[in-house]
Amino acid sequence: MSLRVFVPCETTALSLGAGDVATLISREAEARGLEIELVRNGSRGLFWLEPLVEVDDGTGRRAFGPVDTADVASLLDSHFGDDHPLALGPTDELPWLKQQQRVTFARLGVTDPVSLNDYRATGGFDGLHNALELTPQQLVDKVKASGLRGRGGAAFPTGIKWQTVLDAAGAQKYIVCNADEGDSGTFADRLVMECDPYMLIEGMIIAGLAVGATQGYIYLREEYPLAHRHLDLAIARAEAAGYLGNNIQNSGRAFALEVRLGAGAYICGEETSLLESLEGKRGMVRAKPPLPAIEGLFGLPTVVNNVLSLAAVPSILRDGPEHYAGFGVERSRGTLPFQLAGNIAQGGLVELAFGHSLRELIEDFGGGSASGRPVRAVQVGGPLGAYLSPAQFDTALDYEAFSAIGAVLGHGGVVVFDDSVDMAEQARFSMEFCVEESCGKCTPCRIGSTRGVEVIDRIMRGENRDANMALLEDLCDTMIQGSLCAMGGMTPFPVKSAYTLFPEDFQRQGGEA
Amino acid sequence: MDETQAGVPDTVETIVTSLKHKPGALLPILHGIQDHLGYIPDDAIPVIARALRITAADVHGVVSFYHYFRSEQPGRHVVELCRAEACQARGARALEAHAKARLGVDYGQTTTDRSITLKPVYCLGNCATGPSVRVGEHIKGRMDPARFDRLVDDLTTYKLELN
């Protein structure tokens, strides 16, 4: 057989030159009269090895990386030999990959993301076929039994949310996928959409069948152009193959799906603000109740789920809820994809059952900082998540354990900083980000964040430090207690953790850099 | 009424007409216009408002709310620097200072030769290989001042292909 060569078509791989590497491999193979089949797969999520090129001569896939354009000629000259300096051996044996529990991300980097055949050959649409045999209540019960909780950050049980929408009366109901993954340090949603878009589509169709919704929207952030392209292509192909439309696989059931683009507003990741935006308005947060499950998009019952929640659904319907619930601990069931980011030697996607420690993640998987300097702080759960110090690294990675130390697991993003970080600057940035991104509806968030920047500036200049620290603490409490949503209500988390765990950074003399 | 429409390019009319029937059509319409023209001209606002039966103030409010929409023609290239935490941890603050100095502009401004508009962005999802920069559809990782300078040279130089 001819040699199959895999070069990822995924944002991080492309950002490091995978596009040029793919072009050059084709050209150089042709020049040598070597017959190859070039496959543009997704990424395996081992980002420090990107562009990660794989080859399969019929004996299994072997990996090479990171491949620069300058390496292509020698790779071909060696016939992708195991003695090439970039050879990493069989891909499935890479310890970083082997030690993970890839459930949601089982297909990541293995398949061509937009190939329907690849998707079907790897268990795709099996869950949907099972779902078409079940009643809506049976479907909701399966999701409840799996213990799946919302993966967007709030961890609300998905089955309960679906039950509410199923029970709500409405001529039209909607499934809305929150794909506004705005948290710094997170890219798991992007990987699903770029590398396995049919899985999300299948999850949304099943959600529609479960609650009686016939229209779905994926609210995608504008910052993800490749995810947009892959989703649009996958939706068109799924339609053509009868998975979407008025008669899903000749079942007489209907579901239509459309991607809607956001426009660079972080607040639209908040579900009510997202719904306003989908309706064509400013992304202003709504007061709850009414819950979106009762009065959501256009005032009608709406399931709003994160990409990862919906992406977990096909495997729950294919392998059974018990299989999914078999991973994890206590009330944190299933797996969570952690995203190792920032100043990390081996960054990327690590899907694990709940219950491992943060230290395993940072040291064993991450290999410490990229700079080689000591790790000083880690921010978990996005820009609204608390900073943690190395003393807290033995905390178990589950929702309850994080909550117990005043931190949030959120969407599983882990941003590592080395000892060159200035935590007063980071605290200031948290407030500044809130100034930029507040929707402006409530005063604690809109005005509080601006005052927060000013107070931290005074502290950094050494002006009336004690009085200003007291003021900052007071301001944080006001924002936490008085804000309408998590934007203002959680912005103080990183700020408070910064001055509590790293007080020395707030005590420099005025003018000292 | 017709005077206001006279200055509006046909593209605006075409886009509004083709999308106005969608539920929640305003964002798709604004995206369509910005994709075609590079910005949302003021002249487009009354056209959109009339088609959607909302006020011009409503449309303006939406355009100004979202960071992505702009009311003025940008430079030939829009260069976005990621300012978020994961990129900060890899030197984004230093890169930001370098980029502003090199281009002689602040965020939201366009270089005097109209070649580059500099914008901040909060996360491109490329968080394990930052600092990240976006130019159009392309995202570039592990950016440092030297690579940034090469990127700017590439964007501002017209290349002559010899073969």
H-helix or E-strand spanning residue B151: helix B145-156
**Is omega for the bond preceding A225 within 30 degrees of 0, making it cis?**
no
A 207-226 residues with CB < 8 A to B: 222-226
Residue contact B24–A279, C-beta within 8 A = yes
**Strand partners of residue A255:** A245
* Nearest-angstrom CA–CA distance, A502 and A206: 47
Q: What percentage of chain B has pLDDT greater than the value 70?
A: 92
What DSSP state is assigned to residue A148? -
Q: What pLDDT score was predicted for residue B162?
A: 64
As a whole-number percent, the residues of chain B with pLDDT over 90 amount to 89
3-class SS of residue A32: coil
- Give residue B1's pLDDT: 39
Instruction: Using CB atoms within 10 Å of the CB of residue A378, give its burial: 0 to 12 exposed, 13 to 18 middle, 19+ buried.
Output: buried
Is the pLDDT reported for residue B149 higher than 50?
yes
CB of A227 within 8 A of CB of B126?
A: no
Q: Which pLDDT belongs to residue A509? A: 63
Tell me which chain B residue has its CA closest to the CA of residue A283.
B65
Three-state secondary structure call for residue A182: coil
For the record, the structure tokens of A272 come out as 């009510």
Chain A partners within 8 Å of B31 (Cβ): 222, 261, 263
Taking one residue from A and the other from B, the number of pairs with CB-CB distance under 8 angstroms is: 155
Order of strands across the sheet that contains A302-306: A256-261, A215-220, A174-179, A302-306
> Are B128 and A48 in contact (CB < 8 Å)?
yes
pLDDT(B117) > 90: yes
CA distance linking residue A185 with residue A170, whole number of Å: 38
Each residue's pLDDT tens digit in chain A (513 positions)? 689 999 999 999 999 999 999 999 999 999 999 999 999 999 999 999 999 999 999 999 999 999 999 999 999 999 999 999 999 999 999 999 999 999 899 999 999 999 999 999 999 999 999 999 999 999 999 999 999 988 777 778 999 999 999 999 999 999 999 999 999 999 999 999 999 999 999 999 999 999 999 999 999 999 999 999 999 999 999 999 999 999 999 999 999 999 999 999 999 999 999 999 999 999 999 999 999 999 999 999 999 999 999 999 999 999 999 998 888 777 777 788 999 999 999 999 999 988 899 999 999 999 999 999 999 999 999 999 999 999 999 999 888 889 899 898 888 999 999 999 999 999 999 999 999 999 999 999 999 999 999 999 999 999 999 999 999 999 999 999 999 999 999 999 999 999 999 999 999 765 444
pLDDT at B2 over 90: no
Preceding peptide of A503 cis, ω within 30°: no
Asked if B49 is an interface residue toward chain A (Cβ–Cβ < 8 A), one would say no
Q: Is A370's CB within 8 Å of B138's CB?
A: no
CB A191 within 8 A of CB A105: yes
The H-or-E segment that residue B79 falls in is strand B77-82
Count of other CB atoms within 10 angstroms of residue B72: 12
* Predicted confidence band of residue B4 (pLDDT cuts 50, 70, 90): very low
Which chain B residue has the Cα nearest residue A179? B125
Give the sheet arrangement for strand A3-6, strand by strand.
A36-39, A3-6, A53-56, A61-64, A87-90
Find tokens 């959409």 and name the residue.
Answer: A193
pLDDT band of residue B6 (cuts 50, 70, 90) is very low
Question: What is the C-alpha to C-alpha distance for residues B14 and A343, in angstroms, rounded to an integer?
Answer: 47
pLDDT for res B3 = 40
Would you call A283 and B66 a contact, using CB atoms and an 8 Å cutoff? yes
Instruction: Check whether B89 is labelled as a binding-site residue.
Output: no
Interchain contact, A187 vs B126, CB within 8 Å: yes
The CA dihedral of A96, A6, B130, A231, to the nearest 10 degrees, is: -110
- What is the predicted pLDDT for the residue at A513? 44
Query: Up-side HSE of residue A450: CA atoms within 13 Å toward CB?
Result: 6
Tens-place pLDDT, residues A116-172 = 999 999 999 999 999 999 999 999 999 999 999 887 777 789 999 999 999 999 999
Question: Residues 52..91 of A with a Cβ closer than 8 Å to B: which?
Answer: none
CA distance A167 to chain B (A): 24
Put simply, the answer to whether A15 touches B132 (Cβ < 8 Å) is yes
Give me A317's structure tokens: 């319907």
Count of alpha carbons within 13 angstroms of residue A461, beta-carbon side: 8
Name the minimum distance, in Å, from the CA of A317 to any CA of chain B. 29
Over residues A301-318, the pLDDT tens digits come to 999 999 999 999 999 999
- For the segment B90-106, the average pLDDT, to the nearest whole number, is 98
Q: How far apart are the C-alpha atoms of A159 and A503, rounded to whole Å?
A: 43
- This prediction's pTM: 0.96
Residue B22: the pLDDT is: 97
pLDDT score, position A510: 56
Average pLDDT, chain B: 93
Look at residues B147, B134, B94, B131 and name the one whose alpha carbon lies nearest to residue A342. Answer: B131
Q: From the CA of B98, how many Å to the nearest CA of chain A?
A: 18
Strands B116-121 and B77-82 come out as parallel
- Taking CA atoms, B81 is separated from A14, A142, A270, A466, in Å, by 17, 44, 24, 36
Q: What angle do CA A41, A42, A43 make, to 5 degrees?
A: 120
